[in-house]
């Protein structure tokens, strides 16, 4: 489930017409136009998806539907499927109306058990959701199961680095403080410390192939200055003085800026069966 402040924050975004709650992508000098940066990140994901009219596209961890809304706006004759474990977010997503000739359906479900038949999907998307999944390995198995031959999984993810694994093996007080705040504010994050296999290992074990890997860590880092005002970043600390989600986002910013976590974009395909 989302952090305690999720819906109060997301309502502010929706008022401005922005359905994205993920990081943005900066290709030039940072500015404070977060919606434009989020649109650029979605555009990068959708470009690697190589969408065409008539495709079936599933977004796993779809949130309130921002990425599918962008796909719906520029493509026709599509069957778009949003899957999310939080029914309240799906209620908001259902406000999106499909283009004439296209179809959008929203399903309550988990990444580890997709409500889709084998070999029925052309593209599986997952934008900044996999670090919340109970198991990236189970999600990957499911995504490859539902993909048609030649289909692809395109995702962005926030992944722990070797430095994060070392931090997790450090003083118990630090470990407890970091994990507790992350879980209470922006959790669930089942693999905070990177103890599970990384994506390259998972893909090889599942019999898939990585077609593309891109490190977005630096280009997404300016997002945090848009999520948090200078006063929020200076005042929150990590000791409960600010809004809980603000403190968690501030901590995530520090982890990303110091190299403890990395933001990646991956394009994965299944091997021929």
pLDDT of residue 77: 95
Give long-range contacts, CB 8 A cutoff, 24+ apart: 249-254: 249/185, 249/186, 249/224, 250/224, 251/178, 251/181, 251/182, 251/185, 252/158, 252/182, 252/186, 252/224, 253/221, 253/224, 253/228
3-state secondary structure the chain: CCCCCHHHHHHHHHHCCCCCCCCCCCCCCCCCCHHHHHHHHHHHHHHHHCCCCCCEEEEECCCCCHHHHHHHHHCCCCEEEEEECCHHHHHHHCCCCCCCCCEEEEEECECCECCCCCCCEEEEEEECCHHHCCCHHHHHHHHHHHEEEEEEEEEEEEEECHHHHHHHCCCHHHHHHHHHHHHHHHCCCCCCCCCCCCHHHHHHHHCEEEEEEEECHHHHCCHHHHHCCHHHHHHHCCCCCCCHHHHHHHHHHHHHHCCCEEEEEEEEEECCC
Domains, the chain, ranges and CATH? 6-270 (3.40.50.150)
What would the pLDDT profile of 214-227 be if each residue is shown by its tens digit? 999 999 999 998 88
pLDDT at 271: 77
8 Å CB contact between 236 and 246: yes
Residue 148 has a pLDDT of: 96
pLDDT of residue 227: 82
Report CA-CA distances (Å) from 213 to 57, 199, 218, 265: 21, 10, 15, 6
> What parts of the chain have a pLDDT lower than 50?
1, 15, 238-240
The count of other CB atoms within 10 Å of the CB of residue 108 is: 12
pLDDT at residue 233, as a whole number: 61
Q: Which two tokens stand for residue 25?
A: 């992508």
User: Can you give the pLDDT at residue 201?
Assistant: 97
Q: Give the pLDDT of residue 15.
A: 47
């Amino acid at each position: 489930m989302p952090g305690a402040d999720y819906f109060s924050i997301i309502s502010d975004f929706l008022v401005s017409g922005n359905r994205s709650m993920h990081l943005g992508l900066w290709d030039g000098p940072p500015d404070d136009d977060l919606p434009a940066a989020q649109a650029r990140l979605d555009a990068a994901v959708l470009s690697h998806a190589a969408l065409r009219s008539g495709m079936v596209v599933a977004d796993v961890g779809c949130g309130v539907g921002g990425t599918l809304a962008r796909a719906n706006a520029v493509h026709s004759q599509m069957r778009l499927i949003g899957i999310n474990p939080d029914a309240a977010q799906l209620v908001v997503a259902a406000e999106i109306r499909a283009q004439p000739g296209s179809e959008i359906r929203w399903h309550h479900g988990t990444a580890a058990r997709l409500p889709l038949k084998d070999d029925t999907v052309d593209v599986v998307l997952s934008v900044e959701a996999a670090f919340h999944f109970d198991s990236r390995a189970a999600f990957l198995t499911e995504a490859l199961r539902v993909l048609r031959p030649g289909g692809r999984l395109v995702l962005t993810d926030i992944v722990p680095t070797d430095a994060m694994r070392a931090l997790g093996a450090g003083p118990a007080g630090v470990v407890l403080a970091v994990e507790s705040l992350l879980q209470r504010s922006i959790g669930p994050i089942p693999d905070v410390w990177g103890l599970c296999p990384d994506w390259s290992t998972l893909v090889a074990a599942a019999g898939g192939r990585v077609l593309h890997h891109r490190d977005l860590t630096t280009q997404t880092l300016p997002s945090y200055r848009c999520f948090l005002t200078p006063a929020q970043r200076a005042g929150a600390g990590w000791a409960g003085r600010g809004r809980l989600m603000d403190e968690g986002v501030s901590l995530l910013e520090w982890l990303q800026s110091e190299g403890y976590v990395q933001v990646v974009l991956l394009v994965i395909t299944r091997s021929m069966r």
